[in-house]
Amino acid sequence: SISLGESFDVNIFSKNIGDYGDIHILSIGFPSLEIITDEVKVINSDFNHQYHFIKKNTLVGSNYSAGDQKVKSQYALIEIMNRPSPPNGSYDFQLMVTPKNVGLYEIYVKSIEIPHTSELSHFPHQGMLDPQGEYVSVYSVMVNP
């Protein structure tokens, strides 16, 4: 837990442990935010494409195994990709988060490999489903007054 006004770091290591892929996407969701502001700062990235801040209600890809479909995002996201995505390619992405409200602060993280050929093309493989119909890892920090 942290106190309101304090920051915490988010360090994400993402790796392609499968076959060669065209695109490796890392998606980080912030269910308490509608837009990314100075509350979330990118500290470091070694992905070869620029990250994008995505506002709530923006059309985003979903259900990759059934073809490219679109749904509206239900909260703010950061998406970043590496293209191409060779086997064993690994990438780091680091954030500093300074919550503006007390309570449970959650972050949803997933990675997707395209082409999406099987359930192994995304991580995690189980857990909570996000609005895009994909599993996410949920991380949380309690923000105290």
How many independent structural domains does the chain possess? 1
Residue 73's domain comprises 2-144
Residues composing the chain: 145
Q: What is the predicted pLDDT for the residue at 65?
A: 57
Q: What is the predicted pLDDT for the residue at 66?
A: 55
- Asked whether 4 and 144 are in contact (CB, 8 A), the reply is yes
Q: What is the predicted pLDDT for the residue at 64?
A: 65
60 closest CA partner among 143, 133, 10: 133
Q: What is the predicted pLDDT for the residue at 133?
A: 86
> Which CATH number does the domain housing residue 9 bear?
2.60.40.10
Rg of the Cα atoms in the chain = 15
DSSP code string of 57-123: T-EEEE-GGGS-EEEE-SSEEEEEEESSB-TT-EEEEEEEE--SSSEEEEEEEEEEEES--SGGGEE
97 closest CA partner among 52, 56, 139, 55: 139
**pTM score:** 0.92
Per run of 10 residues, the mean pLDDT along the chain (length 145 residues) is 98 88 93 97 96 95 70 96 90 97 98 81 91 93 98
Q: What is the predicted pLDDT for the residue at 103?
A: 98
- The whole-angstrom separation of Cα 123 and Cα 14 is 9
CA distances from 42 to 37, 59, 75, 85, 98 (A): 11, 23, 18, 22, 12
Cis ω before 124 (30° cut-off from 0): yes
